[in-house]
């Protein structure tokens, strides 16, 4: 979260914590005013979440230069939405060399590409029309060699060369037209629903076909460039493990099948890329390639950027604005540029953000000023917490129960929204514990806060997975995360002299 901003739109771009995101959709029923946000199609943690912006393309393609103009127009907004550009000369040099190798063997070697590393901890990559490629530092942290990153880049290049974004947009427009015709013409509700489902399935299948085609083309490009064609399967496997790692802390299952998802299930993609890779011979020295890659990302920022505050276990600390709070046991926190999200296994979701209100307006008056739909006026209560003005209230909206907390610090007002559909859940207890933990950070405490980073270390004789994982700082479930970050399966032994990644403070 970047700080105290007017936060009226509660739709998060983060999809890594499905349960926590549920509060965003339910909060739209709660809040009276919704500000439209720039929405980029993210399919974390899938390889391609391709963006389709503007234009009036035909099925056969795009007018010359139109793709470049769209990419140029949208590029600043995409970068801003992902926390800006992440600058590291070693990383940029390595990615630049890989991109050149892939372009040389692509079907359009004259296509220009602009690659940007985004300052975001989420694991994602995508492309804009006109050759604009994006990878997050979160994705770079998960990869373990140059070929794995090349698998991502070649996949995205394939989307650009195959004009997938515009084809997808055209099909979406066709589906929208079909839906309108159906709702306007078909009187029979059941028959209409069948027709609507048919158009949606067609759209979803088209997208799956695009993804599989990009996977196949990407593997072929990698092999031609002298890179390891099996790297795509390795990286897809790592992403699947990372997705499950994130979902294990939550009551929702991030891996539950979604028939209309815009990407095929990971097992299907892994099977195909392995089958495609079998047609080629790896021409790379994996040990040397891994060492070069790990050298390039040594020191890479891991997790939250300082400007958005830090998540440390169940605590959130913001050195710039000088405050911290802690969620009760059982919650998992997720930081985004719009808000801090959290969820527990009992189905409670929490959202924390900032809002600007006039300094002369009391928080009790603000609570009842009409920004909450379903507010229970009699529940509004003024509080003083650790010397700070605060107010609490309850609300009900479409089967969901909300506990709302606002607190003021140094002229800025912060909001907590706790939500659960289960009437037996005690939201007040969780909200009160969190509010009681809200405090100012001292100058020395703020100065000591630093971002986490990746450190590449050599395995010594006697080192084990457990002993290496124990060296990690600022993260939960250290052993599991260590295995995933290094592409190591449970039960495997570490090889003396090999290089591994750990997270340090």
pLDDT at site 112: 85
Under 8 Å CB-to-CB from 300, ≥6 apart: which residues? 88, 91, 137, 140, 141, 453, 454
pLDDT at site 292: 95
**Of the candidates 143, 241, 149, 144, the residue with the CA atom closest to the CA atom of residue 477:** 241
Q: Taking all residues of the chain, what is their mean pLDDT, rounded to a whole number?
A: 77
Portion of the chain with pLDDT greater than 90, in percent: 45
pLDDT at site 158: 87
Report how far Cα 452 is from the mean position of its chain's Cα atoms. Answer: 18
Under 8 Å CB-to-CB from 460, ≥6 apart: which residues? 496
CA dist., res. 12 & res. 10, Å (int)? 6
Yes or no: say if 69 and 129 are a contact pair by the CB < 8 Å rule: no
**Mean pLDDT lowest among 117-121, 128-132, 204-208:** 204-208
Residue 464 has pLDDT above 90, yes or no: yes
The band of 498, judged by pLDDT with boundaries at 50, 70 and 90, is very high
Distances from the Cα of 198 to the Cα of 178, 191, 195, angstroms:
10, 11, 5
**Mean pLDDT lowest among 3-7, 107-111, 383-387:** 3-7
Yes or no: say if 156 and 173 are a contact pair by the CB < 8 Å rule: no
**Mean pLDDT in residue range 288-307:** 92
Cβ density class 481-490: b for 16+ within 10 Å, e for less: bbbbbbbbee
**Of the candidates 216, 283, 237, 306, the residue with the CA atom closest to the CA atom of residue 505:** 306
| Pairing between β-strand 315-318 and β-strand 310-312 as defined by DSSP bridges | antiparallel
61 SS3 class: strand
Q: Could you tell me if residue 164 is left (phi over 0), alpha (psi between -120 and 50 degrees) or otherwise beta? A: alpha
CA dist., res. 256 & res. 476, Å (int)? 23
CB-count burial class (<10 Å; 0-12, 13-18, 19+) for 1: buried
pTM (predicted TM-score):
0.70
CA dist., res. 83 & res. 307, Å (int)? 9
The band of 387, judged by pLDDT with boundaries at 50, 70 and 90, is very high
The band of 200, judged by pLDDT with boundaries at 50, 70 and 90, is very low
**Mean pLDDT in residue range 66-79:** 80
pLDDT at site 265: 59
Residue 279 has pLDDT above 50, yes or no: yes
pLDDT at site 248: 66
Give the other-Cβ count within 10 Å of 114's Cβ: 15
pLDDT at site 162: 62
Cβ density class 21-35: b for 16+ within 10 Å, e for less: bbbbebbeebbeeee
User: All domains of the chain, ordered by start, with CATH?
Assistant: 25-35+304-447 (3.40.1000.10), 47-301 (no CATH), 451-504 (3.10.350)
Q: For the chain, what is the total number of helices (H) and then of strands (E)?
A: 15, 17
Report how far Cα 216 is from the mean position of its chain's Cα atoms. Answer: 25
Tokens 């393609």 correspond to: 61
In terms of residues, how long is the chain?
Answer: 505
pLDDT at site 249: 54
**Mean pLDDT in residue range 52-77:** 54
123 SS3 class: coil
The band of 208, judged by pLDDT with boundaries at 50, 70 and 90, is low
- The interaxial angle of helices 189-224 and 89-105, nearest 10 deg, is 100
**Mean pLDDT lowest among 22-31, 60-69, 363-372:** 22-31
The band of 61, judged by pLDDT with boundaries at 50, 70 and 90, is very low
**What is 229-280 written as a DSSP string?**
TTHHHHHHHHHHHHHHHHHTTSSS-TTS--TT-SS--HHHHHHHHHHHHTTS
Q: 383 forms bridges with which residues in the sheet?
A: 390
CA dist., res. 479 & res. 164, Å (int)? 39
350 SS3 class: strand
Q: What is the pLDDT of residues 322-341, one digit of tens each?
A: 999 999 998 888 887 678 88
CA dist., res. 370 & res. 32, Å (int)? 7
pLDDT at site 66: 57
Q: Which two tokens stand for residue 479?
A: 């052993």
Q: Which two tokens stand for residue 195?
A: 């027709």
Sheet holding 132-136, edge to edge: 114-118, 132-136, 125-128
Question: Of residues 55 and 2, which shows the higher confidence score?
Answer: 2
Residue 175 has pLDDT above 50, yes or no: no
pLDDT at site 122: 86
Yes or no: say if 51 and 41 are a contact pair by the CB < 8 Å rule: yes
pLDDT at site 308: 82
Residue 199 has pLDDT above 50, yes or no: no
pLDDT at site 465: 97
| Pairing between β-strand 114-118 and β-strand 132-136 as defined by DSSP bridges | parallel
pLDDT at site 146: 96
Report how far Cα 88 is from the mean position of its chain's Cα atoms. Answer: 21
**Mean pLDDT lowest among 16-20, 82-86, 122-126, 366-370:** 16-20
The band of 502, judged by pLDDT with boundaries at 50, 70 and 90, is very high
pLDDT at site 474: 85
Q: Could you tell me if residue 398 is left (phi over 0), alpha (psi between -120 and 50 degrees) or otherwise beta? A: left
CA dist., res. 67 & res. 76, Å (int)? 15
Question: Of residues 451 and 249, which shows the higher confidence score?
Answer: 451
Question: Of residues 349 and 260, which shows the higher confidence score?
Answer: 349
pLDDT at site 207: 61
Distances from the Cα of 491 to the Cα of 290, 332, 460, 483, angstroms:
21, 27, 18, 10
pLDDT at site 195: 42
**Mean pLDDT in residue range 360-365:** 95
Residue 54 has pLDDT above 60, yes or no: no
Q: Could you tell me if residue 313 is left (phi over 0), alpha (psi between -120 and 50 degrees) or otherwise beta? A: left
412 SS3 class: strand
Residue 389 has pLDDT above 80, yes or no: yes
Report how far Cα 93 is from the mean position of its chain's Cα atoms. Answer: 25
pLDDT at site 326: 96
Under 8 Å CB-to-CB from 362, ≥6 apart: which residues? 382, 389, 391
**Mean pLDDT in residue range 369-383:** 92
Q: Which two tokens stand for residue 369?
A: 């000023």
């Amino acid at each position: 979260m970047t700080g105290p901003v007017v936060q009226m739109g509660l739709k998060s771009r983060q999809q890594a914590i499905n349960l926590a995101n549920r509060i965003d959709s339910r909060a739209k029923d709660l809040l009276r005013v919704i500000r439209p946000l720039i929405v980029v199609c993210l399919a974390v943690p899938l390889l391609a979440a391709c963006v389709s912006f503007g234009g009036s393309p035909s099925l056969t393609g795009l007018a010359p230069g139109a793709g470049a103009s769209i990419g140029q127009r949208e590029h600043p907004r995409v970068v801003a939405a992902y926390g800006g550009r992440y600058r590291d000369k070693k990383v940029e040099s390595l990615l630049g060399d890989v991109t050149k190798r892939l372009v040389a063997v692509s079907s359009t070697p004259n296509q220009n590409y602009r690659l940007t590393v985004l300052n975001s901890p989420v694991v994602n990559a995508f492309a804009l029309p006109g050759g604009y490629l994006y990878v997050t530092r979160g994705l770079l942290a998960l990869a373990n060699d140059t070929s794995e990153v090349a698998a991502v880049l070649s996949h995205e290049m394939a989307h650009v060369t195959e004009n997938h974004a515009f084809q997808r947009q055209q099909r979406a427009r066709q589906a929208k037209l079909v839906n309108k015709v159906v709702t306007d013409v078909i009187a029979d509700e059941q028959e209409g629903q069948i027709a609507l489902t048919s158009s949606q399935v067609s759209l979803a299948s088209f997208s799956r076909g695009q993804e599989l085609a990009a996977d196949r083309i990407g593997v072929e490009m990698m092999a031609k460039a002298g890179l390891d064609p099996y790297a795509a399967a390795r990286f897809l496997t790592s992403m699947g493990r990372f997705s499950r790692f994130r979902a294990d802390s939550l009551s929702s299952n991030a891996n539950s099948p979604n028939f209309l998802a815009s990407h095929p299930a990971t097992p299907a993609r892994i099977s195909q890329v392995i089958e495609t890779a079998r047609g080629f011979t790896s021409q790379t020295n994996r040990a040397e390639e891994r060492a070069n890659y790990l050298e390039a990302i040594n020191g890479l920022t891991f997790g939250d950027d300082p400007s958005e505050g830090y998540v440390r276990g169940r605590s959130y600390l913001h050195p710039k604005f000088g405050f911290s709070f802690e969620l009760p046991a059982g919650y998992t926190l997720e930081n985004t540029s719009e808000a801090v999200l959290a969820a527990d296994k009992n189905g409670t979701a929490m959202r924390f953000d900032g809002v600007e209100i006039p300094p002369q307006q009391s928080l009790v008056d603000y609570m009842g000023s009409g920004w909450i739909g379903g507010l229970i006026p009699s529940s509004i209560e003024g509080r003083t917490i650790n010397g700070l003005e605060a107010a609490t209230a309850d609300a009900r909206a479409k089967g969901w129960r909300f506990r709302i907390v606002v607190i003021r610090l140094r002229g800025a007002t912060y909001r907590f929204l706790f939500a659960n559909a289960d009437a037996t859940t005690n939201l007040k207890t969780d909200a009160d514990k969190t509010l009681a933990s809200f405090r100012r950070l001292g100058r020395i405490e703020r100065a000591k806060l630093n971002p986490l980073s990746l450190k590449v270390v050599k395995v010594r004789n006697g080192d084990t997975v457990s002993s290496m994982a124990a060296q990690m700082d600022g993260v939960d479930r250290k052993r599991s995360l260590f295995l995933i970050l290094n592409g190591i399966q449970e039960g495997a032994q570490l090889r003396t002299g090999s290089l591994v990644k750990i997270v340090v403070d």
